[in-house]
Copies of this chain bind each other. A is one copy, B any other.
Amino acid sequence: MRDTVMVMTPAPAGRRRGPSKGDLREKAILDTARELLARKPLAEITIDELAAGAEISRSTFYFYFDSKLAVVVALLHGLADELGRDAGPWLDGTGPDAPALRRSLSALAAIWRDQGRLIAGALAAAPGCPPIARWRAGLREAHVDRLAARIARDRAAGLAPDGPAPRVLAELIDDLRTAAFAAATDPEALVDDLVTVELRMLYADFPETALGRMIGQAP
């Protein structure tokens, strides 16, 4: 695969050199992939199509990328930042701050709306494609870490009730988001309900005693 790392071009002092023919081709492949992903799932996209879209032969495709999944990985790289953005205020905050959570989820929903196929395709390919699995794991861990820390903080401050270990609860919330957005036709329509549900999961005041009494009952 062609080096994706942008090697510092010698920069001949004077004129700025435009992108090389190869850079253009690479971009064309990426654009084609994005465009195709908007229309059909990753599994149905073939290297032939990618090559055709970039107006090169199939074998030339391999000059730029190792495989179809390598293209996905490249596409994914640009997405990692986006996915984390706007989550800061919520994750670094304290207590049931619904507006912050809502903003965080809205941003996430917008990304799912625009790039759902890409993400879904990536998730489906993850088992069996280590780079994608790593990408997913890294993203998930980053979110879970911060959310778990937030939960621990809230509990220590008496703002949130006890319950599942912070990490486990954070994982459940992360899973819920992914599954819900992946299944939704209109991710953005889900935001408000997701806010409610996540707040319940985190802050539900479900008295131990009452719960204990209820558990005692037979159905």
B172 A197 Cβ-Cβ under 8 A: yes
Q: A94-B219, A95-B217, A97-B217 are in contact. List 4 more A-B contacts (CB 8 A).
A: A95-B214, A175-B176, A200-B204, A204-B205
The smallest C-beta distance from A219 to any residue of chain B, in angstroms, reads 4
A211 B199 Cβ-Cβ under 8 A: yes
A219 B172 Cβ-Cβ under 8 A: no
Chain A: interface residue count, which band? 35 or more
A217 to B89, CA, bound (A): 13
The digit string for A87-120, where 1 denotes a CB below 8 A from any CB of B, is: 0011001111111100000000000000000001
Binds B, one of A18-26, A51-59, A177-185: A177-185
B176 A172 Cβ-Cβ under 8 A: yes
Residue A127 at the B interface, CB < 8 A? yes
The smallest C-beta distance from A194 to any residue of chain B, in angstroms, reads 8
The smallest C-beta distance from A144 to any residue of chain B, in angstroms, reads 11
Binds B, one of A7-15, A30-38, A78-86, A162-170: A162-170
A180 to B169, CA, bound (A): 11
Residue A67 at the B interface, CB < 8 A? no
CB-CB under 8 A from A94, the residues of chain B are: 219
Residue A60 at the B interface, CB < 8 A? no
CB-CB under 8 A from A183, the residues of chain B are: 171, 175
Q: A95-B214, A164-B196, A179-B179 are in contact. Are A128 and B206 (CB under 8 A)?
A: no
CB-CB under 8 A from A165, the residues of chain B are: 193
B180 A175 Cβ-Cβ under 8 A: yes
Q: A169-B197, A201-B201 are in contact. Are A97 and B214 (CB under 8 A)?
A: yes
For A216, the closest partner residue in chain B by CB is B99
CB-CB under 8 A from A99, the residues of chain B are: 215, 217-219
CB-CB under 8 A from A124, the residues of chain B are: 124, 127
